[in-house]
Structure 1
């Protein structure tokens, strides 16, 4: 096999590949063995027609198409490997010469990974973001715990207050006529949650249980039901009962009730420790993002459109999976939001371009540093995945192999090593 490579514009490469006569003949013979099982020639049992008879009856070209399908993929793979061509899409194949007794010649045009011109990636300066926890942070966490452990009392008398959950019957009228969707019974509404249109919840504050109140309100101009947008309406509302939260004072007894600690000071110290751990993690993530963003911004790369397009497809697929966890299909979401797949995909293009460029730059860093992924590093990563899923490592490896995901996992490990290198060498400066 011979191959010549021509670099084209827009990160494309053209390979002209020549398969010699002998190899082409072997491909024709394999094609004959396939075709002969599919055709019947008078005087011969199916599958027993000699090749010469078959070619004489249908022409020598009868085997060409199958021979091309057999030979071209293997020759293409060999050519890109020998010439260090790194494609990012399937090639466009054009057969140049296809004649008996002559070499088979074809062209393959394919988009390849672009060259990356790296900027400075060691010693990058970023603003320090120290991890800090204030007394106010601890107090907010205590108040969150206080709300989470509140006791709820049901009141059948008294006046509604902000924060109460009112059980209400209501009906809305426009020009004295009930409108569709404006009626509800035994509806639970937390006053102050802004779940209803402006003025509705505020209008119930101070209203006694059992009393009907008329609320003169106006729907927002941008309301989703266009027939009600900006319209003046009247709601007749009756509070049937109130559910009111009672909060325990934040003291030693509270600490005993909500934790394994005996005193409030011990609980505060534990909260501070956990908040600091989370703050340190967030600070490290912020530093990593800042460093990587700077390295990417300092580098030059022409990202191929096909790579961005493919990544946008992947991001949209992942989004569809997240929707499915909420019981909504992608098709249902598109219908609800009145979008097409093309509309949604367009929203992922900027993120896709950013991700692809970042990966290309990190790959270039890894290459510049001579990084690779060892078998031991791959095994360790598989073991960690297995531990998270509580499955044996060999089973996880088998699953990854069957899905063709081992190379992607190795690539992820390699990029993480590149990130670690540039982050570890970064310099933090005071803001």
Structure 2
């Protein structure tokens, strides 16, 4: 097989692949056997028709056509492997020459255009020092969490005075555009000042008493008329305030397993410290990735960027033809960062020679299922049946590659003290029992299938 590679873009290549006759012959034989199982030839049992008879019966060109359907993807994969390319998308295949007659001197020739992962050199990780801020938990942090717990045990009590900032209200809304109602909702609960409703509603509600109405203008935040200005009529049904329990030992006993408020505060502080350490680990990851790519230009495939940008727009609830310039910019920037991060993580995983075990993939899928409140077995089954298992393996490889790379780096706080992140990064010993990522998908599929039975 002769392979030539032409760089069309920094992240796009065109392969021209010419297949030798003997390489194609194996696929021709397979095609003949397949065709022999589908045709009836007098004097021969179905499936036992000699290849020469198959050629005569259906025509050599038809045999070649059957063979090419199976052969071209395999020859393409072999070429990609031989040239050490890392495709990021499906190739665009184009047949150039196909033999029509036996020994006509024409060789199978086709081109494949595909976007590939760019190549770049990673810095030496074991010399890298990454600075990450030391986690800090203040009394204010503890008090904020304690107040949130206090709110959970508060009681809403009706009041007679007009609505004030922080009050809890029940309201009806009716939005009209050009005098026509376009959206109406009743019995909405809202805390004045929460900032999660229409612009201008807080100012409209403050000073109203239960049973009173008023109108204000605001841009609608969702629905068919999203972004359009409407005249909104608001009816205030009730006003309540939150009465909070006293912060004492009785509260601690009601709200927790602890007998005293001091013990409850100590536990809240411990939780806050654990959360702060988790945030530090996330900050360390971000700082590490930023430092790895410092000074490195990572080009992003144009086709992949366009597709991911469209996907981000759809997630924003708009299509490319209706999106604003600001929305397109936001979607494009998010898609570009996502792709660049994927390219970096895939490169790290390859550099770390990551191995993905069956248990790695199973644990990953089970954790995702748990996040969405789904049954793990059903979720894994749907992943396998939907052909998404390779993507799951890839995600696990990216995660493991990053952790393995971070374990080679020294993290220090802003005072120069070494930061121990082993609780979050794991150890190299945990990798000893892993198996090749290429076989992980099949193993997981087999296990899921056997469990289903």
TM-score, normalised to structure 2's length? 0.68
User: Is the CA contact 2:163–2:205 (under 8 Å) kept in the aligned structure 1?
Assistant: no
Deviation larger for 396-405 or 261-270: 396-405
Q: How far apart are residue 430 of structure 1 and its match?
A: 2.0
Within-5 A mapping of 1:55-70: 60-70=60-70
Q: How many angstroms does 1:386 deviate by?
A: 6.8
- What's the CA shift for 1:366? 4.3
1:243-299 residue CA offsets vs partner (Å, 9 max, x unmatched): 332111211121111111111111111111101100110011011101111212332
Q: Residue 267 of structure 1 aligns with which residue?
A: 264
Q: Which has the higher contact order (CA 8 A, sep 6+)?
A: 1
| 1:291 alignment partner in structure 2 | 288
Cα distance in 2, alignment partners of residues 294 and 287 from structure 1: 10
Q: Is the 8 A contact 1:31 1:63 kept in 2?
A: yes
Distance 1:261 1:72, change over 3 A: same
User: Aligned partners of 1:416, 1:227: CA distance in 2, in Å?
Assistant: 39
2:347 maps to what in 1? 364
- Superposed CA RMSD in Å reads 4.8
1:403-427: CA deviations, max 9, x gaps?
Answer: 5555444443443343234434134
Give 1:355's match in structure 2, choosing from 321, 330, 338: 338
Distance apart, 1:20 and its partner CA:
1.1
Distance change in 2, residues 1:110/1:48 (3 Å): same
- Check conservation: 1:299, 1:361, Cα contact below 8 A: no
Kindly state the Cα deviation for residue 183 of structure 1 after the two structures are TM-superposed: 7.9
Q: Is the 8 A contact 1:152 1:243 kept in 2?
A: yes
CA contact (8 A) 2:38 2:46 kept: yes
Contact kept, 8 Å, 2:204 with 2:216, in 1: the verdict is no
Q: Which residue of 2 aligns with 1:219?
A: 217
Distance 1:341 1:45, change over 3 A: farther
Say which SS state the counterpart of residue 81 (structure 2) adopts. Answer: helix
Q: Which residue of 91, 108, 112 corresponds with 2:111?
A: 108
Asked which structure has the greater CA Rg, the reply is 1
TM-score, length of structure 1 as denominator length: 0.71
**1:393 to 1:19, Cα distance in 2 relative to 1, 3 A:** farther
The CA deviation string for residues 369-389 of structure 1, in whole angstroms up to 9 with x for no partner, is: 5x231xxx5133145347645
Contact 2:364–2:396 (8 Å) recurs in 1? no
Q: How many residues align?
A: 397
Question: Does structure 1 residue 148 correspond to structure 2 residue 148?
Answer: no
Cα separation, 1, equivalents of 2:241 and 2:58: 89
Residue 301 (structure 1) aligned with residue 327 (structure 2): no
Q: Deviations over 1:116-141 (max 9, x none)?
A: 13345444444431111111111111
Show the counterpart of 1:324.
none
Alpha carbons of 1:187 and 1:219: their partners in 2 closer, same or farther (altered >3 Å)?
A: same
Q: Aligned partners of 1:115, 1:252: CA distance in 2, in Å?
A: 62
Moved more, 181-190 or 281-290: 181-190
CA contact under 8 A between 1:118 and 1:298: conserved in structure 2?
A: no
Name the residue aligned to 2:358: 379
Q: List alignment gaps of at least 5 residues for structure 1.
A: 320-329
Q: 1:411-422 maps to which residues of 2 (within 5 A)?
A: 411-422=394-405
Deviation at 1:45, TM superposition (A): 13
Q: Deviations over 1:316-348 (max 9, x none)?
A: 78x4xxxxxxxxxx9xx448x994799978754
Contact 1:123 1:427 in 2 (8 A): no
Map of 2:446 onto structure 1: none
Deviations 1:106-157 (A, max 9, x none): 13333333221334544444443111111111111111112111112345x5
1:219 alignment partner, SS class? strand
Aligned partners of 1:395, 1:227: CA distance in 2, in Å? Answer: 40
Contact 2:132 2:287 in 1 (8 A): no
SS of structure 1 residue aligned to 2:246: coil
1:163 aligns with 2:146: no
> Which secondary structure state, in structure 2, belongs to the residue aligned with residue 250 of structure 1?
coil
